[in-house]
Homo-oligomer: A and B are copies of this chain.
Amino acid sequence: MGQGALTKERIFQAALKAFALHGYEGARMDKIAAEVDINKATLYFHFKSKEDILRELFQDIVLKYRDKMNAIVTGCKDMPCKERLKTIYREYLEYNLDNAEMDFWNRIYYLPPTNLREEIISITSESKKEFVANLACIMEEGIKQKELQQMNPSHMAYTFYNILTCIDLSSGLMSKEQALLEMDNCFEVLWNGIKGM
């Protein structure tokens, strides 16, 4: 791996920060270059265009996210239901809060460049479906084991997921500690609604 590959990786990191902080339109190629401490023109040796940087970055981050989610779900597969859900809940939050990659995703999802809009929304939707499907399996298992109520597992999974994703909306309004605390409270309310009698 030569110098080039290293530079490309550093461009990735700088671009991630820039897109997360300022969005696609607001991110500036010259600022990214300055952050990497290379000339602006050098960016165009490594990437065809600004849009190209975004596309590659997005694909990378989606893959990492998917791997992480699968690892979280798998890592706790032998726990009893409540403990398992709580573990997923906490690890999801830990991964998302103060994570530049998730900031990036949220911002790019909200204001995608027109050309990539369809692709970004579609991939985001897929990713959500996959995670909710995983959760639904866990709910189904919990019902079988009588740890959960006889309810529609998809509805339970979707509700669980909704509460989780709200950290993305709220976390900018409070500290990470505060967010985790509030989320713990939400978990207890939710658990109360789905646990077996």
Interface positions of A (Cβ within 8 A of B): 22-23, 25-26, 106-107, 109-111, 121, 124-125, 128, 149, 151-152, 154-156, 158-159, 162-163, 165-166, 168-170, 172-174, 182, 185-186, 188-194
Contacts and interface: CB of A to CB of B under 8 A. Distances in A.
Given A106-B110, A154-B185, A155-B188, 18 more contacts: A22-B111, A23-B23, A23-B26, A125-B174, A149-B192, A155-B185, A159-B185, A159-B189, A162-B166, A163-B166, A165-B170, A166-B166, A166-B169, A168-B169, A189-B190, A190-B190, A191-B193, A192-B194
A186 B173 contact: no
Contacts of A163: 159, 162-163, 166
A168 B106 CA distance: 12
19 contacts: A22-B25, A23-B110, A25-B26, A111-B111, A125-B174, A128-B173, A151-B192, A155-B189, A158-B182, A162-B162, A163-B163, A163-B166, A165-B166, A165-B169, A166-B166, A190-B190, A190-B193, A192-B194, A193-B193
Contacts of A106: 110
Choose among A128, A173, A182 the residue with the greatest number of B CB atoms under 10 Å from its CB. Answer: A173
B169 A169 contact: yes
B111 A23 contact: yes
A166 B154 CA distance: 16
Contact of A152 (B185, B191, B193): B185
Contact of A170 (B25, B162, B174, B185): B162
Nearest to A182: B158
A166 to B, nearest CB: 4
Contacts of A190: 159, 189-190, 193
